[in-house]
Structures are given as C-alpha cells and as structure tokens.
Amino acid sequence: MLGLLSFRDGRTGYDLKKWADASLRFFYWSPAISQIYAELRRLEELGLVTSRRSGPEEPRAKRRYTITEDGRQALAAWADATHECGPPVLKHPLVLRVWLGHLAVPDTLRTLVERHRERTRAGLREVRKALAGAGAGTEWDFPRVALGWSERQHLAELELAEAMLADLERLRRAAPETAGRPSEMAGRAAPEAGGRAAPETAGRASEQRGRAPSVAPPRQRVEDAPTHG
C-alpha cells in the first residue's frame, strides 16, 4: 500500500485500486477495495500515512491519503535493500492437473490446456492495453518496465501451452489403446526414482514404442512479438 502511495500524494482508496489494477495486478496482486481501506487505517495508526478530507460530511471514499516522511523512509529502506528477493512462488493449477493426467481422459486435459491458452491470450491483451494507456509522466517509467516483463511472461506462457498440447498429442498417439480409459492408466506403476519406469510398465512402453510411429510435435503458434523491448 505504501508503494501505491509513493507515486503520487493525495490519492483516494478508489484511486489506489485503479492504480493497482492498471499495473500491480499483472505481476503481483491487486487488493480488494475493502482490503485497501483496512490497510490504510492501519498505516495511519502507525504514522506512515496521513489522510484529509474537505469537510466533516465527506464520505470515506473521498478521503485522500498521503505517505508520510516516516512511511517513505521505511518503504525506501525495503525497496533499496540488497537482500535477495527470493524465487517466485509457483503454484500452477493446470500443471497439477496434467501431472495427474493418468486419472483423466485425454480430451479433458486438452480442453483444460486450451482454456488456459485462451485465458492467457486475454491476459496478454489486458497487459498490452495497460501498456498503451501508460502515461508519459516519470511515475510510469518503472511500472512500464514491469508491464513489459508481464507482456513477455504471457507470451512465454502461450508457448508453454502450445508445447504442452503437442506433448499430450504425442502421448495420445503413442498409446491409442488407453485413450479415454483413465482407470487403466491409474493402475500402472509409478515411475521409480530417477525417472525409470517399473519393469512391467517399461516393457509395455518399449513394445508400444516399437510399433508406434515417431510423431514430431506440431509447430508452435507464435503470437505477435512483444510491443515493448
């Protein structure tokens, strides 16, 4: 919240919500309006934020908040620290579902990946819309860099989705007799440590490889190049 306030003084809670939706949500988080006001009250109690309104009857939504000098110093100390940021936390629901693909019908997995691909394309359009609407002022200099990263991340996610569809298709063609029968797949032994299959499973896989043609993955679809370096 202090970060949102650091760009410009005198913003309302609604202003902060719009600012978060226009930039922060594409790579980190966008708080609900109720969370914004709760955090602003807490920060004001700590002396890190001040607020004002033009009259006693003015609603809370019109109260304008400003980061204090103590708040700016605390934020700058955190932003300028040399300690590691740490790795990003990755929890990918789609990949988890594919990991459990031996319990699913192949068509279901393909549908899930295709839906994810369409959501990612929609997200890419939103990022590019935010980039196009970025102001010319200096307050947008670094948010524009962050949005450029988000654009490239969406493009990479599209490539991964296309590759996953190709992998699923290759599995389907290599084992057509199990397509549509997840119960048979569920009964197979799990791979041993190091990626080696159990002997019985390995034998069946070897037989299948002997009679199934090698299928190259289809060429990935390439989206438009990033609009910003």
Question: What is the rounded distance in angstroms from the CA atom of residue 75 to the CA atom of residue 2?
Answer: 7
Does 25 score more than 70 pLDDT? Answer: yes
Q: pLDDT band at 121, cuts 50/70/90?
A: very high
Does 189 score more than 80 pLDDT? Answer: no
Task: Looking at the structure, tell me whether residues 35 and 104 fall in a common domain.
Answer: no
Does 160 score more than 70 pLDDT? Answer: yes
Does 99 score more than 50 pLDDT? Answer: yes
13 or 184, which is more confident: 13
Task: Looking at the structure, tell me whether residues 35 and 100 fall in a common domain.
Answer: no
Task: Looking at the structure, tell me whether residues 11 and 75 fall in a common domain.
Answer: yes
Task: Looking at the structure, tell me whether residues 101 and 176 fall in a common domain.
Answer: yes
Provide the 3-class DSSP secondary structure of residue 131: helix
Provide the 3-class DSSP secondary structure of residue 34: helix
Here the tokens at position 216 are: 């190259």
Hey, how many other C-beta atoms are within 10 angstroms of the C-beta on 101?
A: 16
Q: Is residue 206, in this structure, part of any structural domain at all?
A: no
Range of lowest pLDDT (94-108, 126-140, 188-202): 188-202
Q: 90-99 contacts: CB < 8 A, separation 24 or more?
A: 98/164, 98/168
Task: Looking at the structure, tell me whether residues 123 and 171 fall in a common domain.
Answer: yes
Task: Looking at the structure, tell me whether residues 52 and 105 fall in a common domain.
Answer: no
Q: Is residue 162, in this structure, part of any structural domain at all?
A: yes
Number of compact structural domains in the chain: 2
Question: What is the rounded distance in angstroms from the CA atom of residue 126 to the CA atom of residue 130?
Answer: 6
- Which of 51, 79, 107 terminates a domain? The answer is 79
Task: Looking at the structure, tell me whether residues 69 and 148 fall in a common domain.
Answer: no
Does 201 score more than 60 pLDDT? Answer: no
Hey, how many other C-beta atoms are within 10 angstroms of the C-beta on 5?
A: 24
Provide the 3-class DSSP secondary structure of residue 49: strand
Domain enclosing residue 6, as ranges: 2-79
Please state the pTM of the whole predicted model.
0.70
Average pLDDT, the chain: 82
Here the tokens at position 53 are: 């309104």
Distances (CA, A) of 126 to 19, 51, 88, 130: 14, 32, 22, 6
Q: Is residue 191, in this structure, part of any structural domain at all?
A: no
For residue 40, what is the domain's CATH number?
1.10.10.10
Task: Looking at the structure, tell me whether residues 108 and 139 fall in a common domain.
Answer: yes
Q: Is residue 201, in this structure, part of any structural domain at all?
A: no
Q: pLDDT band at 216, cuts 50/70/90?
A: very low
Q: Is residue 12, in this structure, part of any structural domain at all?
A: yes
| pLDDT at site 226 | 58
CA triple 82-5-22, angle to 5 deg: 95
